[in-house]
Amino acid sequence: AVVSTQSTGDPSLRLQERVFPNMMGRNTSKFKYSSCRFKVQKKKEGTGRIVMWQQMGILNSFTMEATFAGYNNVHFNTRDLEDMGYHFCDTLLDYCDPDPSKVEHV
C-alpha cells in the first residue's frame, strides 16, 4: 500500500497524486491501489513525505509500506520484494515516459 498526502483545494492535484499508485496497481497484482490512503493524519505530520509536501510543494511524496506477513495469507519472500522493486522501477519509467499515453490511460 502507499500512504500519500492529500492535496486540498485543487481537484486536479487530488487526481494527479493518485496516478502513480494507480499505475503501480495495474503493473503488479501484489500492489493494491484500493489499500492506498491519501489523507494526512495528525500523528504523521512530522514524517518526511508530509514535510516534503507541505514545505517544499512536492506532490508525489509517498511511503510504500510492506508487511512480512504478505497478503492473502501468503508470506513475502526475497523474490517477492525484488519483484516489487522491479515493478516500482518499471512504473516509474512509465510515469516519466515522454509519451503521455501511459499516464493518460489511467
d(CA 59, CA 82): 26
Mean pLDDT of 33-40: 80
Mean pLDDT of 6-35: 80
Residue positions counted in the chain: 106
The most confident of the ranges 3-7, 17-21, 63-67, 72-76 is: 17-21
Return the SS3 of 74: strand
- Which residues are catalytically annotated? 65
Residue 90 pLDDT class (50, 70, 90 cuts): very high
pTM above 0.85, yes or no: no
Return the SS3 of 3: strand
Which one-letter amino acid corresponds to residue 48? G
Residue given cell 497484482 in the structure block:
29
